Chain A
Amino acid sequence: MKQRYWILLFAAIIAACLLVWLLPRGGGQTALVYQDGTLLYTLDLRQSRTLTVTGPAGENLITVAGGEVFVSYADCPDQVCVQHGPLQKRGGPIVCLPNRLTIEWAKHDAQVDALSGTGGLS
């Protein structure tokens, strides 16, 4: 009898998590590249570019193309960040644990101007 409550509880947690996960968040035109918790780059997704980030495990090649940002090459063995594909409107950031790198959505597109001034919004 008691097990039934546990099953219900776990099912409810799974349902709640799926709901949270499917809520859209982020989006927009600006992505932020962090390493070790410090902001490295502010990317305007409307401008195609390629940049290299070097970390403890090697290099990551970050590509912005077609309004999307993705890691096109990584030195590390697990390739998790490459297989993640482009940064999605739903779902989590691109994370490279070996190089302590994360790529996530900016809260507001306006940050491009404020932080780097090179966002090219004008």
Chain B
Amino acid sequence: MRLKKLTLTAVLTAAALVMFVLESQLPPLTVIPGIKPGLSNIFTLFAMEALGPGWAFGLFLTRVTLGCVITGQGSAFLYSLAGGLCAYVLMLLLKKALRGNTLWVRSVLCAMAHNAGQMAAAAAITRTCAVWSYLPVLIPAAILAGTLTGLCAQLVLNRLEKAGLIPVNQVPNKQEEEANG
């Protein structure tokens, strides 16, 4: 089962990376840095729900590191990491607090935490509070982006659940798995 999860995480990480690189090639939506759909987070959300927090964290860390290496945006690494860690911690907390069909709500709240973390990193690096004045734009952007990615992940997860493919723990080829060691 571990092997299965590891493989699935690897595939999801690859898909997330492709999405991340594709997205970085798009022209910026606004002049303000940090506003983008963050479509690669669909895969992080998916991993969080289908595989568990540990796997999702591995996916996130690999995606951020390799994403920055591939796109060559070294300075973006710290911001991405700070934002991502904030979102990750909040997601762990919300996972217990919000149950049911509320993945998109959690996604929105985490997107806001992500932007807050990025802003905090930017404020720490530039040592000014001026970057905080972008907050009124970044919050609505986070809500829209979070809804988009959250709904994508939620719809896919719901369908896979109906088809009996999730959770991965209950995949019915246990014998095969034991035979593989």
User: Which of A's residues lie within 8 Å of B, judged by CB?
Assistant: 2-3, 6, 10, 13-14, 17-18, 20-21, 34, 36-37, 57, 77-78, 80, 83-85, 92-93, 95, 97-98, 100-102, 104
Question: Residue-by-residue, is B82-115 near A (CB-CB < 8 Å gives 1, otherwise 0)?
Answer: 0000000000000000001110010010000000
CB of B140 within 8 A of CB of A17, answer yes
Q: Which residues of B contact A83 (CB under 8 A)?
A: 28, 31
* Known A34-B130, A93-B130, A97-B126: A21·B136 in contact at CB below 8 Å: yes
Which residue of chain B has the shortest Cβ distance to A80 in the bound complex?
B33
A57 CB, min distance to chain B CBs, angstroms: 7
Tell me the residues in window 36-68 of chain B with beta carbons closer than 8 Å to chain A beta carbons.
none
A46 CB, min distance to chain B CBs, angstroms: 23
B122 contacts the other chain (CB 8 A): yes
Tell me the residues in window 129-146 of chain B with beta carbons closer than 8 Å to chain A beta carbons.
130-131, 133-137, 139-140, 143
* Interface size class of chain B, counting residues whose CB lies under 8 Å from the partner chain: 20 to 34
Q: Which residues of A contact B140 (CB under 8 A)?
A: 13-14, 17-18
A107 CB, min distance to chain B CBs, angstroms: 12
User: Which of B's residues lie within 8 Å of A, judged by CB?
Assistant: 28, 31-33, 72-73, 75, 79, 100-102, 105, 108, 122, 125-128, 130-131, 133-137, 139-140, 143, 147
Residue of B32, B72, B101, B131 near A102 (CB, 8 A) is: B131
C-alpha gap A21/B138 in the complex (Å): 11
| 24 intermolecular pairs with C-beta atoms under 8 Å apart | A2-B100, A2-B102, A3-B102, A6-B102, A6-B105, A6-B108, A13-B139, A13-B143, A17-B136, A17-B140, A18-B136, A21-B137, A36-B126, A37-B128, A77-B72, A77-B73, A78-B33, A80-B28, A83-B28, A95-B122, A95-B126, A95-B131, A97-B75, A98-B75
Q: Which residues of B contact A98 (CB under 8 A)?
A: 75
CB of A100 within 8 A of CB of B127, answer yes
With contacts A3-B101, A13-B143 known, what are 17 further pairs, Cβ within 8 A?
A10-B147, A18-B136, A34-B126, A57-B75, A77-B72, A78-B33, A78-B73, A80-B31, A80-B33, A92-B32, A93-B131, A95-B122, A95-B131, A97-B33, A97-B75, A102-B128, A102-B130
